[in-house]
Amino acid sequence: MNNLELVKQAYQNFADGNMDAVLELYHPEMVWQNCSGYPFIIGDGLFIGPDAVVQNVYEKMPEYIDIDSYHVDIQELFGSGDKVVMVGHYIGV
């Protein structure tokens, strides 16, 4: 499976609510850049590794976001080599 396919699978697992499967796909040294403006994001929103994403994003989301209405609207997903880019929006209350 190439990087683009891995990211597509991760987004599908997230949409399905299968967080264990999402985390299994994350590389131990992954870099996560979260959008600014979220009330729970401190600093530049840059997190390294799955544990940092879980602690600083996933665990804090339910305090501020209605998870049942939250989803990612992917407009475009493309990759080249070891880089993958998602263009889209987070939607929720």
Specify the pLDDT at position 93.
76
Residue-level pLDDT, tens digit, the chain, 93 residues:
888 999 999 999 988 989 999 999 998 999 988 877 888 888 889 999 999 999 998 898 888 888 788 888 999 999 998 889 999 988 877
Specify the pLDDT at position 29.
94
Number of domains in the chain: 1
> Amino acid letter at 54?
V
| CA 18 – CA 4 distance, rounded (Å) | 19
Specify the pLDDT at position 4.
93
56, 29 Cβ separation under 8 angstroms: no
Record the pTM: 0.77
Cα 7 to Cα 4, 22, 60, 63, distances in angstroms: 5, 9, 22, 26
Specify the pLDDT at position 92.
79
Which CATH number goes with the domain that contains 85? 3.10.450.50
